[in-house]
Amino acid sequence: MNERPEAAVTYQSYLQLDRLLELQTPRSDGPEHDEMLFIVIHQVYELWFKEMLHELDHVASLFRSDKPHRAQHTLKRILTILKVMVAQLDILETMTPLEFLSFRARLEAASGFQSNQFRQIEFLLGAKNEGALSRFPEGSPGRIALERRFLAPTIWDAFLHYLAGEKYPVPPGHLARDYSRLVEPTPEIQLILLDVYRNDTKSAEICERLVDLDEGIAEWRYRHVRMVERTIGHRPGTGGSRGAAYLQSTIGRNLFPDLWEIRSRL
Protein backbone atom coordinates (compact mmCIF):
# COMPACT_ATOMS: atom_id res chain seq x y z
CA MET A 1 0.00 0.00 0.00
CA ASN A 2 1.34 3.43 -0.94
CA GLU A 3 1.68 5.76 2.03
CA ARG A 4 1.03 9.41 1.31
CA PRO A 5 4.31 11.27 1.81
CA GLU A 6 4.01 13.75 4.65
CA ALA A 7 5.14 17.30 3.92
CA ALA A 8 8.73 17.82 5.07
CA VAL A 9 9.07 19.71 8.32
CA THR A 10 10.29 23.24 7.74
CA TYR A 11 11.26 26.11 10.02
CA GLN A 12 7.92 27.74 9.19
CA SER A 13 5.82 24.65 9.87
CA TYR A 14 7.65 23.42 12.98
CA LEU A 15 7.27 26.77 14.74
CA GLN A 16 3.77 27.37 13.33
CA LEU A 17 4.95 30.81 12.30
CA ASP A 18 1.93 31.52 10.11
CA ARG A 19 -0.28 31.36 13.20
CA LEU A 20 2.19 33.00 15.55
CA LEU A 21 2.83 36.05 13.36
CA GLU A 22 -0.87 36.68 12.84
CA LEU A 23 -1.45 37.27 16.53
CA GLN A 24 -0.23 40.88 16.80
CA THR A 25 -3.25 43.09 16.17
CA PRO A 26 -3.08 46.68 17.45
CA ARG A 27 -6.40 48.23 18.51
CA SER A 28 -5.50 51.90 18.01
CA ASP A 29 -6.38 53.85 14.87
CA GLY A 30 -3.42 54.50 12.64
CA PRO A 31 -2.35 52.27 14.40
CA GLU A 32 -0.15 54.08 16.94
CA HIS A 33 3.44 53.08 16.24
CA ASP A 34 4.29 51.90 19.80
CA GLU A 35 1.33 49.59 20.26
CA MET A 36 3.13 46.88 18.27
CA LEU A 37 6.02 46.90 20.77
CA PHE A 38 3.55 46.77 23.65
CA ILE A 39 1.78 43.72 22.23
CA VAL A 40 4.94 41.87 21.23
CA ILE A 41 6.61 42.37 24.59
CA HIS A 42 3.60 41.10 26.53
CA GLN A 43 3.29 38.09 24.24
CA VAL A 44 6.98 37.33 24.71
CA TYR A 45 6.48 37.53 28.49
CA GLU A 46 3.61 35.09 28.35
CA LEU A 47 5.82 32.67 26.41
CA TRP A 48 8.53 33.01 29.05
CA PHE A 49 5.90 32.49 31.76
CA LYS A 50 4.92 29.27 30.00
CA GLU A 51 8.53 28.11 29.91
CA MET A 52 9.04 29.11 33.57
CA LEU A 53 6.06 26.98 34.65
CA HIS A 54 7.40 24.09 32.58
CA GLU A 55 10.82 24.35 34.25
CA LEU A 56 9.49 24.99 37.77
CA ASP A 57 7.27 21.90 37.57
CA HIS A 58 10.36 20.00 36.46
CA VAL A 59 12.39 21.26 39.45
CA ALA A 60 9.64 20.14 41.82
CA SER A 61 9.55 16.65 40.33
CA LEU A 62 13.39 16.44 40.41
CA PHE A 63 13.36 17.31 44.13
CA ARG A 64 10.73 14.66 44.75
CA SER A 65 12.67 12.02 42.84
CA ASP A 66 15.88 12.90 44.68
CA LYS A 67 17.84 14.33 41.74
CA PRO A 68 19.39 17.41 43.36
CA HIS A 69 22.04 17.99 40.67
CA ARG A 70 19.41 18.03 37.91
CA ALA A 71 17.21 20.29 40.05
CA GLN A 72 20.06 22.72 40.52
CA HIS A 73 20.84 22.69 36.81
CA THR A 74 17.19 23.49 36.02
CA LEU A 75 17.12 26.23 38.65
CA LYS A 76 20.09 27.85 36.90
CA ARG A 77 18.15 27.83 33.64
CA ILE A 78 15.15 29.44 35.35
CA LEU A 79 17.37 32.15 36.84
CA THR A 80 18.83 32.90 33.42
CA ILE A 81 15.34 33.24 31.95
CA LEU A 82 14.37 35.53 34.82
CA LYS A 83 17.35 37.77 34.07
CA VAL A 84 16.22 38.05 30.45
CA MET A 85 12.69 38.83 31.64
CA VAL A 86 13.93 41.66 33.86
CA ALA A 87 16.20 43.00 31.10
CA GLN A 88 13.29 43.11 28.66
CA LEU A 89 11.74 45.90 30.68
CA ASP A 90 14.55 48.14 29.32
CA ILE A 91 12.98 47.84 25.88
CA LEU A 92 9.57 48.97 27.12
CA GLU A 93 11.18 51.89 28.93
CA THR A 94 12.17 53.33 25.57
CA MET A 95 8.44 54.14 25.24
CA THR A 96 7.70 57.61 26.64
CA PRO A 97 4.60 58.39 28.77
CA LEU A 98 3.03 60.26 25.83
CA GLU A 99 3.66 57.40 23.43
CA PHE A 100 1.93 55.01 25.87
CA LEU A 101 -0.97 57.40 26.50
CA SER A 102 -1.56 57.55 22.73
CA PHE A 103 -3.12 54.07 22.87
CA ARG A 104 -3.63 53.32 26.60
CA ALA A 105 -7.39 53.96 26.50
CA ARG A 106 -7.70 51.16 23.93
CA LEU A 107 -6.58 48.65 26.55
CA GLU A 108 -9.86 49.31 28.44
CA ALA A 109 -9.68 47.13 31.59
CA ALA A 110 -6.96 44.83 30.25
CA SER A 111 -3.88 44.57 32.47
CA GLY A 112 -1.02 42.23 33.41
CA PHE A 113 -3.05 41.96 36.61
CA GLN A 114 -5.14 39.40 34.72
CA SER A 115 -2.19 37.24 33.65
CA ASN A 116 -3.20 33.73 34.64
CA GLN A 117 0.26 32.28 34.09
CA PHE A 118 1.84 34.94 36.32
CA ARG A 119 -0.53 33.92 39.15
CA GLN A 120 0.28 30.26 38.53
CA ILE A 121 3.99 31.07 38.87
CA GLU A 122 3.28 32.97 42.11
CA PHE A 123 1.28 30.04 43.50
CA LEU A 124 3.94 27.51 42.54
CA LEU A 125 6.54 29.67 44.27
CA GLY A 126 4.39 29.85 47.40
CA ALA A 127 2.79 33.30 47.04
CA LYS A 128 -0.73 31.90 47.49
CA ASN A 129 -3.56 34.40 47.46
CA GLU A 130 -7.11 33.10 47.27
CA GLY A 131 -8.37 36.49 46.09
CA ALA A 132 -6.55 35.99 42.76
CA LEU A 133 -8.88 33.07 41.92
CA SER A 134 -12.01 35.22 41.72
CA ARG A 135 -10.53 37.28 38.86
CA PHE A 136 -11.09 34.31 36.53
CA PRO A 137 -14.58 33.08 35.59
CA GLU A 138 -15.62 29.96 37.49
CA GLY A 139 -15.19 26.83 35.38
CA SER A 140 -12.89 28.53 32.82
CA PRO A 141 -9.66 26.66 31.95
CA GLY A 142 -7.61 29.44 33.57
CA ARG A 143 -9.60 29.24 36.82
CA ILE A 144 -9.33 25.44 36.90
CA ALA A 145 -5.57 25.57 36.36
CA LEU A 146 -5.20 28.19 39.07
CA GLU A 147 -7.40 26.31 41.55
CA ARG A 148 -5.23 23.24 41.01
CA ARG A 149 -2.09 25.28 41.71
CA PHE A 150 -3.71 26.87 44.75
CA LEU A 151 -4.15 23.49 46.44
CA ALA A 152 -0.91 21.95 45.18
CA PRO A 153 2.47 21.82 46.95
CA THR A 154 4.93 24.61 46.15
CA ILE A 155 8.59 24.48 45.14
CA TRP A 156 9.43 24.97 48.83
CA ASP A 157 7.36 21.91 49.76
CA ALA A 158 9.20 19.87 47.13
CA PHE A 159 12.50 21.10 48.57
CA LEU A 160 11.46 20.08 52.12
CA HIS A 161 10.54 16.68 50.71
CA TYR A 162 14.04 16.41 49.25
CA LEU A 163 15.60 17.39 52.63
CA ALA A 164 13.50 14.74 54.39
CA GLY A 165 14.82 12.22 51.83
CA GLU A 166 18.35 13.31 52.80
CA LYS A 167 17.44 12.28 56.38
CA TYR A 168 17.00 15.77 57.79
CA PRO A 169 14.37 15.78 60.58
CA VAL A 170 11.67 17.73 58.72
CA PRO A 171 8.58 17.54 60.99
CA PRO A 172 5.90 15.37 59.29
CA GLY A 173 3.36 18.18 59.77
CA HIS A 174 5.43 20.33 57.40
CA LEU A 175 5.50 17.71 54.70
CA ALA A 176 1.72 17.33 54.75
CA ARG A 177 0.76 20.93 55.53
CA ASP A 178 -2.21 22.79 54.05
CA TYR A 179 -0.58 23.84 50.77
CA SER A 180 -3.06 26.62 50.12
CA ARG A 181 -1.51 28.62 52.97
CA LEU A 182 1.53 30.89 52.80
CA VAL A 183 4.75 29.34 54.05
CA GLU A 184 5.44 30.76 57.50
CA PRO A 185 8.94 31.01 59.02
CA THR A 186 9.51 27.99 61.27
CA PRO A 187 12.21 27.52 63.95
CA GLU A 188 12.55 23.73 63.33
CA ILE A 189 13.15 24.27 59.62
CA GLN A 190 15.63 27.04 60.35
CA LEU A 191 17.70 24.69 62.55
CA ILE A 192 17.81 22.23 59.66
CA LEU A 193 18.88 24.93 57.24
CA LEU A 194 21.67 26.08 59.57
CA ASP A 195 22.92 22.50 59.62
CA VAL A 196 22.68 22.32 55.81
CA TYR A 197 24.69 25.51 55.32
CA ARG A 198 27.40 24.38 57.75
CA ASN A 199 27.75 20.75 56.73
CA ASP A 200 26.16 19.95 53.39
CA THR A 201 27.62 21.87 50.43
CA LYS A 202 25.40 20.17 47.85
CA SER A 203 22.13 21.10 49.55
CA ALA A 204 23.47 24.53 50.60
CA GLU A 205 24.11 25.30 46.90
CA ILE A 206 20.46 24.56 46.19
CA CYS A 207 19.42 26.88 49.02
CA GLU A 208 21.47 29.63 47.41
CA ARG A 209 19.76 29.09 44.05
CA LEU A 210 16.38 29.38 45.83
CA VAL A 211 17.51 32.67 47.37
CA ASP A 212 18.54 33.78 43.86
CA LEU A 213 15.05 32.90 42.64
CA ASP A 214 13.43 34.88 45.46
CA GLU A 215 15.66 37.86 44.65
CA GLY A 216 15.01 37.50 40.92
CA ILE A 217 11.24 37.72 41.37
CA ALA A 218 11.67 40.70 43.71
CA GLU A 219 13.89 42.35 41.09
CA TRP A 220 11.21 41.89 38.45
CA ARG A 221 8.57 43.42 40.76
CA TYR A 222 10.84 46.36 41.58
CA ARG A 223 11.75 47.08 37.95
CA HIS A 224 8.11 46.72 36.88
CA VAL A 225 6.85 49.22 39.46
CA ARG A 226 9.62 51.71 38.56
CA MET A 227 8.64 51.38 34.90
CA VAL A 228 4.99 51.89 35.83
CA GLU A 229 5.85 55.02 37.85
CA ARG A 230 7.86 56.54 35.02
CA THR A 231 5.22 55.71 32.43
CA ILE A 232 1.90 56.49 34.17
CA GLY A 233 2.98 58.17 37.43
CA HIS A 234 0.36 57.69 40.14
CA ARG A 235 -2.59 57.05 37.87
CA PRO A 236 -4.73 54.00 38.73
CA GLY A 237 -4.06 50.85 36.71
CA THR A 238 -6.21 49.72 33.79
CA GLY A 239 -6.84 46.54 35.85
CA GLY A 240 -8.59 48.61 38.53
CA SER A 241 -5.91 48.77 41.23
CA ARG A 242 -4.33 51.90 42.72
CA GLY A 243 -1.49 51.39 40.21
CA ALA A 244 2.06 51.99 41.47
CA ALA A 245 0.87 52.15 45.11
CA TYR A 246 -0.63 48.66 44.80
CA LEU A 247 2.48 47.31 43.08
CA GLN A 248 4.71 48.79 45.82
CA SER A 249 2.70 46.78 48.35
CA THR A 250 3.68 43.52 46.62
CA ILE A 251 7.42 44.21 47.08
CA GLY A 252 9.27 42.97 50.13
CA ARG A 253 7.46 39.68 50.79
CA ASN A 254 9.96 36.84 50.78
CA LEU A 255 8.95 33.62 49.03
CA PHE A 256 11.20 31.43 51.17
CA PRO A 257 11.23 33.25 54.54
CA ASP A 258 13.28 30.63 56.42
CA LEU A 259 16.18 31.08 54.03
CA TRP A 260 16.21 34.79 54.91
CA GLU A 261 15.66 34.31 58.65
CA ILE A 262 18.80 32.20 59.11
CA ARG A 263 21.21 34.61 57.44
CA SER A 264 22.03 36.61 60.53
CA ARG A 265 22.81 33.36 62.38
CA LEU A 266 25.23 31.83 59.88
Q: Given the rule CB under 6 A, which residues bind ligand HEM?
A: 41-42, 45, 92, 100, 111-113, 115, 118, 224, 227-228, 231-232, 237-241, 243, 246-247, 250
| Of residues 94 and 201, the one with the C-beta less far from ligand HEM | 94
Whose Cβ is closer to ligand HEM: residue 70's or residue 143's?
143
CA distances from 28 to 31, 53, 102, 254 (A): 5, 32, 8, 39
CB-nearer residue toward ligand HEM: 21 or 47: 47
Q: Are 219 and 90 in contact (CB under 8 A)?
A: no
| Shortest reach from residue 131's CB to ligand HEM, in Å | 10
| DSSP of 189-251 | HHHHHHHHHHH-HHHHHHHHHHHHHHHHHHHHHHHHHHHHHHHHTTPPPTTSS-THHHHHHTT
Q: By CB neighbour count within 10 A (0-12 exposed, 13-18 middle, 19+ buried), where does 199 fall?
A: exposed
- Report, in Å, the least distance between residue 179 CB and ligand HEM: 20
Q: Which is nearer to ligand HEM, 110 or 175 (CB)?
A: 110
Smallest gap from Cβ 13 to ligand HEM, in A, equals 28
* Cβ nearer to ligand HEM, comparing 34 with 186: 34
Nearest distance from residue 228's CB to ligand HEM, in Å?
4
Element (DSSP H or E) covering residue 137: none
Nearer to ligand HEM, 67 or 221 (CB): 221
What's the Rg (C-alpha) of the chain?
Answer: 21
**What is the nearest approach in angstroms of ligand HEM to the Cβ of residue 187?**
30
Q: How far is the CB of 24 from ligand HEM (least distance, A)?
A: 14
Residues near 185 by Cβ (< 8 Å), separated by ≥ 6? Answer: 257, 258, 261
How far apart are the C-alpha atoms of 138 and 38, rounded to whole Å? Answer: 29
